[in-house]
């Protein structure tokens, strides 16, 4: 008896296996077991998404929902789902235009609203073409052009199976013997982060605190729920598209189990946020990343100009720049970003006094910020002599610095030379000379002025 029914039973089992393999298995974000994202400054992110999968039959089609529509499929790596036979990113999304394209050449119901009385009429038409905001249809052997606006609308009978409301990843493998989590790693556009700092000076202006917030941006088209984030600081070179897979192998190692403190990775700095958080589509999220207090800060006033071997009778007036500098003595390297500086007024209220940007700054390196132009200092300069000599020019300049404030101020004056030069005379001692640049440190008394006069030989360049 067993032998009599063995063939039909075997055929039934085989047919059932083929049906199961042909029916796509949909896995959405509810099956997610772990999610880690490494975000870069350059509209780039590395996603490591672990989801629970059942045992897979050979050739079983698996559709992973809730993936980034900006996924770079050439970087996709699937681990734990058996040997992969093929993988596809489905981005043919459901929209009015995609439905119209699908139903080209097919019969549709066309609804028209009478603007006079609001009544709506239905007509069976054949959709022939779409061009801009108009469509061509066939009705009763006639071709008509209709506008695609509020008074005209098509009624679609059903949603095509190949169109979905969100992107999805589909793959087939040689199957697995048991249920297990699988990890999907890929690079994607639409993720980035930036650093913003608030620097607060104390009443003396000699100490400051620095608070840094990381702002994360998500425009991938999906929500990342309860994810662990790592932020990569540094500028990396992105390879050609055909070599992205090799880059993905290295980048996947970056997003391993996170540590509590920032760590150096290759020539970059990797910051791990201590707590899991969610980053929704089109959301900007700010999270604290850096906090330092009581760092010594130095205020400087700087001015520079270019001395050229040509006549200039004008008297140039300008305000010097105000700079703040400090040493990054904290334990944390500072990611590059915008810095906004605040200082207390006479009543202790914080006022914004200027902002700038800093580059990626390692521990122990100096940071310099240009805040703006000084209000109480002014600089006037004039060329007082220019004479031609056999091997160049002899030039004299006068620089007048005024201080309307009630405190002594020091101006760092830099003069740049575009050709070989020799200082022949100066009313004040030069503090530094580097290549084509001379420096003077000018102390300007309160409610007073300081004058620098110097003569320089500008030599013709050697052929």
Task: Give 345: exposed, middle or buried? Use CB within 10 Å, 0-12, 13-18, 19+.
Answer: exposed
- Rounded CA-CA distance 378/372 in Å is 13
- Rounded CA-CA distance 110/113 in Å is 10
* pLDDT tens column, 434-461: 888 999 999 999 999 999 999 999 998 8
Predicted TM-score (pTM) of the model is: 0.69
- Where is 414: in which H helix or E strand? strand 409-417
- Rounded CA-CA distance 342/79 in Å is 50
Question: Which pLDDT score is estimated for 263?
Answer: 59
Asked if pLDDT for residue 262 goes beyond 70, the answer is no
* pLDDT tens column, 333-361: 888 899 999 999 989 999 999 989 988 88
Position of tokens 């070179």?
A: 237
Distances (CA, A) of 200 to 197, 296, 346, 348, 396: 10, 12, 15, 12, 43
User: Contact, 68 vs 167, CB < 8 A?
Assistant: yes
3-state secondary structure at position 187: strand
The angle at the Cα of 338, spanning 332 to 340, to the nearest 5 degrees, equals: 100
Asked if pLDDT for residue 251 goes beyond 50, the answer is no
Asked if pLDDT for residue 9 goes beyond 80, the answer is no
Residues near 98 by Cβ (< 8 Å), separated by ≥ 6?
92, 163
- List beta partners, residue 49: 35, 184
Question: What is Dmax (Cα atoms) for the chain?
Answer: 121
Helices (H), 64-123: 96-102
Give the CATH architecture of domain 96-155. Roll (2.30)
Asked if pLDDT for residue 6 goes beyond 90, the answer is no
Looking at per-residue pLDDT, the higher value among 120 and 303 belongs to: 303
Helices (H), 84-200: 96-102
Taking alpha carbons only, the member of 118, 56, 44 closest to residue 81 is: 56
Question: Which pLDDT score is estimated for 94?
Answer: 74
Strand 224-233 vs strand 32-39: parallel, antiparallel, or unpaired?
A: parallel
The angle at the Cα of 185, spanning 269 to 94, to the nearest 5 degrees, equals: 120
7 confidence band (pLDDT: 50, 70, 90): very low
Taking alpha carbons only, the member of 43, 88, 80, 73 closest to residue 244 is: 73
Residues near 173 by Cβ (< 8 Å), separated by ≥ 6?
56, 58, 60, 62, 78, 81, 82, 83, 84, 85
Report the topology of domain 302-320+374-463: Immunoglobulin-like (2.60.40)
User: Contact, 227 vs 278, CB < 8 A?
Assistant: yes
Domain ranges of the chain: 96-155, 302-320+374-463
3-state secondary structure at position 221: coil
179 confidence band (pLDDT: 50, 70, 90): very high
* pLDDT tens column, 364-408: 889 999 999 999 999 999 999 999 988 899 999 999 999 999 999
């Amino acid at each position: 008896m067993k032998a009599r029914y063995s063939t039909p039973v075997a055929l039934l089992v085989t047919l059932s296996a083929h049906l199961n393999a042909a029916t796509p298995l949909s896995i959405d974000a509810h099956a997610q077991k772990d999610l880690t994202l490494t975000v870069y400054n350059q509209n780039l992110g590395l996603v490591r998404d672990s989801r629970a999968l059942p045992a897979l039959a050979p050739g079983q089609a698996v559709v992973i929902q809730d993936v980034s529509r900006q996924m770079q499929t050439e970087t996709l790596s699937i681990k734990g789902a058996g040997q992969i036979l093929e993988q596809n990113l489905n981005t043919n999304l459901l929209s009015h235009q995609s439905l119209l394209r699908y139903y080209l050449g097919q019969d549709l119901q066309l609804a028209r609203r009478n603007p006079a009385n609001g009544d709506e009429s239905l007509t069976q038409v054949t959709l022939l073409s779409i061009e801009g905001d108009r469509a061509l249809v066939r009705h009763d052997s006639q071709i008509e052009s209709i506008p695609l606006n509020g008074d005209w609308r098509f009624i679609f009978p059903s949603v095509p199976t190949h169109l979905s409301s969100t992107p999805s990843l589909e793959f087939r493998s040689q199957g697995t013997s048991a249920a297990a989590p699988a990890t999907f790693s890929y690079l994607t556009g639409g993720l980035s982060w930036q650093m913003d700092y608030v620097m607060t000076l104390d009443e003396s202006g000699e100490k400051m605190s620095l608070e840094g917030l990381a702002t994360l941006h998500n425009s991938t088209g999906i929500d990342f729920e309860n994810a662990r984030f790592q932020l990569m600081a540094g500028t990396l070179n992105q390879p050609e598209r055909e070599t992205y897979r090799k880059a993905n192998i290295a980048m996947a190692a970056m997003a391993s189990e996170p540590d509590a403190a920032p760590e150096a990775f290759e020539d970059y700095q990797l910051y791990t946020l201590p707590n899991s958080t969610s980053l929704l589509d089109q959301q900007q999220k700010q999270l604290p990343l850096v906090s330092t207090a009581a760092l010594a800060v130095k205020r400087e006033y700087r001015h520079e100009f270019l001395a050229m071997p040509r006549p200039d009778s004008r008297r140039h007036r300008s305000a010097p720049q105000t700079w703040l500098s400090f040493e990054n003595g904290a334990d944390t390297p500072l990611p590059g970003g915008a810095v906004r500086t605040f200082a207390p007024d006479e009543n202790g209220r914080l006022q914004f006094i200027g902002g700038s940007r800093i580059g990626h700054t390692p521990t122990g390196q100096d940071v310099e910020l240009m805040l703006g132009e000084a209000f109480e200092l002014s600089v006037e300069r004039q060329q007082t002599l220019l004479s031609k000599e056999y091997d160049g020019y002899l030039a004299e300049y006068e620089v007048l610095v005024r201080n309307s404030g009630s405190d002594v101020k020091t101006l760092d004056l830099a003069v740049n030379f575009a050709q070989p030069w020799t200082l022949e005379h100066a009313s004040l001692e030069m503090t530094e000379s580097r290549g084509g640049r001379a420096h003077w440190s000018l102390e300007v008394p309160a409610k007073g002025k300081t004058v620098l006069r110097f003569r320089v030989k500008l030599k013709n360049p050697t052929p």
